[in-house]
Amino acid sequence: MLETWIDPAAIAIVLVGTLVATAMRCGLADSRTALGAVRGLFERSFHPTRAKAELSLQIRTIADDGFVRAEVRRFGDKEFDSLSDLIISQRSIQSLHSEHLKFKEARLARAQTATRVLECAADLAPVFGLAGTLIALGQAQGPSSQDTGLVGAIAMAVVTTLYGLVAANFLFAPLASAITRKSRQEESDRDEVLEWLEHGIRQTGVRNVSPLPQREAA
């Protein structure tokens, strides 16, 4: 019974065909971005509590030593390590937001690209399911086809159509939604940590916090 629903040829037609067509339509660069985003779903997510715990050491250093003598503390997060460098070197809380925005826009662009690629794959999977169906039915109409071959071809046609629908609705579309949800949650968490960091720096009482220079009127 189980063998009826497991057909390597049908799997190859649907999955391999969908992946190749998606890469051709979206481009290799965007496809690699999508692959990286899918891999990121299984990696450790940004943890705001851990980030606050690490950044609290930076705040304590600034409170104790001031901006001039404070040393930059890094904990492996590219954005907040960069913000720690920035706040020590420029002594400007306001500049944190513009730097944060650069990282945020880059992350959102990657997430949107990955989502678009996976949604494209979800659209193409049923098409290749139909293609597999047509291939199977075409083989069944050959002059040498017998009852056994006809039954097998019809079974492959049904299974291929099923694989296309399953791949679209239970693989590619859910992965696209998962990437969108993770991206939305991460940005919310990072915004929260940034606000906490700004508040913590201001609470240190350090006086030499300089605002960004005002732009001259054109």
How high is the pLDDT of residue 181?
97
Give domain status of residue 209, yes or no: no
How far apart CA 214 and CA 218 sit, in angstroms, is: 12
Specify if 171 maps to a domain.
yes
* Contact (CB, 8 A) for 62 and 201: yes
- For residue 125, the model assigns a pLDDT of 97
Regions of the chain with pLDDT less than 50: 145, 207-208, 210-218
Q: What is the pLDDT, as a whole number, of residue 7?
A: 82
Judge whether 113 lies within some domain.
yes
Domain count, the chain: 1
What pLDDT does 42 receive?
94
At 136 the pLDDT is 78
pLDDT at 141: 61
Residue 88 inside a domain? The answer is yes
Range of the domain at 67: 17-203
Burial class (CB in 10 A: 0-12, 13-18, 19+), 69: exposed
pTM of the model: 0.84
